[in-house]
Amino acid sequence: MFMRIDHVGIACHDLEEKIAFFERTFELTVVAREVNTEQGVKEAMLHIADGEGGGSYIQLLEPLSPDTPVGKFLTRRGEGVHHVAFGVPDVVQALDTIGGRGVRLLDERPRHGSMGSSIAFLHPKDVGGMLTELVQAPERQAETMSNARNADT
């Protein structure tokens, strides 16, 4: 089901300061920046490597306000690992399978994620305390749409 670790999301108070640290210390490069109002974050993706079905990244997350998921996390726990995201070939299918195995889905349907991806979250309490994200990379979305079209014909 999981093809790779797509990214590790890290909550921080100051995105620019944290980007500078990761660039300077680990020689990583920012490949995308986005403000995602639906998720309440300003974020940056730093490229690590390329893998099956997409790349893997460190994702730095600064909350847009204290009453967002990342804002609440920072208040409660301080800076640190907020979630782990796994690349899947088909996020709708993965949600269906995982939900059927009793894990609570925070998203019944995929939402818009970094760099054009489709994402969905699983409840941390059902995954050993780890907020888990499923990610379908954009190239995979084109593939599943084309498979669905072929199945229709």
Interface ranges with ligand MC0 (CB under 6 A):
9, 36, 39, 41, 43, 59, 61, 69-70, 72-73, 82-83, 85, 106, 113-114, 119, 121, 124-125, 129, 131, 133
Nearer to ligand MC0, 80 or 147 (CB): 80
Cα 82 to chain centroid, rounded: 10
Q: How far is the CB of 102 from ligand MC0 (least distance, A)?
A: 17
Token pair for residue 48?
């690590």
Nearer to ligand MC0, 41 or 98 (CB): 41
Nearer to ligand MC0, 108 or 152 (CB): 108
Q: How far is the CB of 127 from ligand MC0 (least distance, A)?
A: 9
CA dist 25 → 20, 22, 29, 98 (Å)? 8, 5, 11, 37
Sequence-ordered strand ranges (E) for the chain: 4-11, 29-36, 41-51, 54-63, 80-87, 111-112, 118-122, 132-136
